[in-house]
Structure 1
């Protein structure tokens, strides 16, 4: 089973639109994962049902026992994250949004009044769709370890007993920890960009990351007709880097209308859908994915 991640150096380039389109155009059901755990929305375009979630336990958190705390303040002194403060009652409290769960406070407390406990930082979910099993997640606002949550989403997906021809990942934007976690172990990356200065700048950075993993790279140029000069810059960059362009998608207002209706544009007769279908065909031929 081939593993393909759809990635973008910046948000708003149409990455999820491309991932949803590929899912719809596949003749066989794919194994799907939305690894944009900070803002997962692939499920909104794939008509998902029967969603089941389990708790995701992220960073641990300190909890102060009010009965044991004597208000000495040593925990506040040693907390480098400024997560501990004294309340009006004279007892110290932990701000869970600032606590990193390092455990220093529990070590220095002479009264053994501080305990480090697990806390739920999000959910890992599994949904059914007409196009395959979809694994996705939600990271609670203010929570960390998004890279680890991406890993758990992928592990849950790969543990699914399916015989899909490909594992398609809708990745997070940027070049941070969740991106590295999403790219790790994949066979190929489909880069989605648009004609623009910032888009090309962020594409270059993402390509640098992908080079470190030795993955095969392809590119889809979205909204290609909005700026022909910048689009040509992207084409020249890809030629220099040896990145095959799977297709160019014209700006199509139907894409926005489809998203508003919670549908993939791939199910409509539009220029964007035609370009997406051609890009998927080129990708399956290049990756030798059975259809």
Structure 2
């Protein structure tokens, strides 16, 4: 089973659209499981129209909460308030000592030094992750709660669940899948690292702009740091031929294969509005140039990852 992660140095390059298009190409011949690890802004489900089969709560870190029945402080000279480096603890005439859960970083120092042992430290609820059936195959995806932070732990949870399904099927008795295709996180931070470590290959989706090339350089360097083979796809290549040449030349100098280029086409947006991959849309309305380009990218990727 090969794990392919689609990433980008920045948001908005077409990463999720390409992932859905690769799904259409892959399932014609292979058994495939999918994971949406862009949990900060998960949207692969908008194109996959999933039927949710499992829902799991996700907890990460802790949040401090004061038990007013045990609290012995009255706003002045309080140990918890004085020690909090995030100014998350304050005094209210009506509520007593209170903790701003948004400002609380869950460091635990107030819990450790409270003389009355009056501060609880429960796990912080951050959102949910799901296992779903789709027309392409099983999909594992997630939704962060409003204001919740993503350190990469939720990404790892989603990837681990998807790998388990890919290795033995949704019920644990099926054959191993041929591919696990992951819609990774954009950028170069902790969620991206959690998305790519240990995978078989990454596909970096870039665009022909100065920032596109700069972000490609950064994310390719990150992937190579973790010894993950890098492949590149240039989306909307025809909006700036000069920058497309610069990207291809940079890839050549750094021995990074370019899987292909995708032209700019309004049909991609039309397909998204209808919740379809570009291949599905092309079968009904045309857009063969984009669909053919993606199919070529998938074929090249298969050859390079065998």
- TM-score tier by shorter-chain length is over 0.9
Matching residue within 199, 202, 205 for 1:192: 205
Q: Which residue of 1 aligns with 2:126?
A: 121
Query: Matched residues in 2 for 1:146 and 1:23: separation?
Result: 27
What's the offset of the Cα at 1:272? 1.2
For residues 15-49 of structure 1, the C-alpha deviation after alignment (integer angstroms, 9 at most, x for no partner) is 00111111111122311100000011111112321
2:30, 2:179 within 8 Å by CA — same for their partners in 1? no
For residues 69-123 of structure 1, the C-alpha deviation after alignment (integer angstroms, 9 at most, x for no partner) is 1225221111112211112326111111121211110111111110111121111
1:38, 1:146 within 8 Å by CA — same for their partners in 2? no
What's the offset of the Cα at 1:215? 1.1
TM-score normalised by structure 2 residue count? 0.91
Does the residue aligned with 1:69 lie in a helix, a strand or coil? coil
Instruction: State yes or no: 1:266 paired with 2:279.
Output: yes
Q: Which runs of 4+ in 1 moved over 4 A?
A: none
What's the offset of the Cα at 1:221? 0.4
Write out aligned runs for 1:44-55 (5 A): 44-55=46-57
Report which stretch shifted further, 257-266 or 179-188: 257-266
Q: Which residue of 1 aligns with 2:35?
A: 33
RMSD of the TM alignment (CA)? 1.2
Query: Matched residues in 2 for 1:32 and 1:69: separation?
Result: 49
What's the offset of the Cα at 1:53? 1.4
Instruction: State yes or no: 1:229 paired with 2:232.
Output: no
Aligned length: 288
Report which stretch shifted further, 218-227 or 79-88: 79-88
Q: Which residue of 2 aligns with 1:2?
A: 2
For residues 141-194 of structure 1, the C-alpha deviation after alignment (integer angstroms, 9 at most, x for no partner) is 222243011000011111222321011110010000000000111010001000
What's the offset of the Cα at 1:50? 2.9
Query: Matched residues in 1 for 2:252 and 2:163: separation?
Result: 34
Q: Which residue of 2 aligns with 1:254?
A: 267
Report which stretch shifted further, 71-80 or 235-244: 71-80
For residues 250-283 of structure 1, the C-alpha deviation after alignment (integer angstroms, 9 at most, x for no partner) is 0010000111111111211312111001100111
TM-score normalised by structure 1 residue count? 0.96
2:197, 2:228 within 8 Å by CA — same for their partners in 1? no
Structure 1: tracts of 5 or more residues without a match: none
1:37, 1:146 within 8 Å by CA — same for their partners in 2? no
Query: Matched residues in 2 for 1:255 and 1:132: separation?
Result: 22
Write out aligned runs for 1:100-139 (5 A): 100-139=105-144
Instruction: State yes or no: 1:78 paired with 2:78.
Output: no
What's the offset of the Cα at 1:51? 4.4
Report which stretch shifted further, 220-229 or 70-79: 70-79
Query: Matched residues in 2 for 1:82 and 1:127: separation?
Result: 41
Query: Matched residues in 2 for 1:21 and 1:50: separation?
Result: 21
Instruction: State yes or no: 1:219 paired with 2:207.
Output: no
1:126, 1:135 within 8 Å by CA — same for their partners in 2? yes
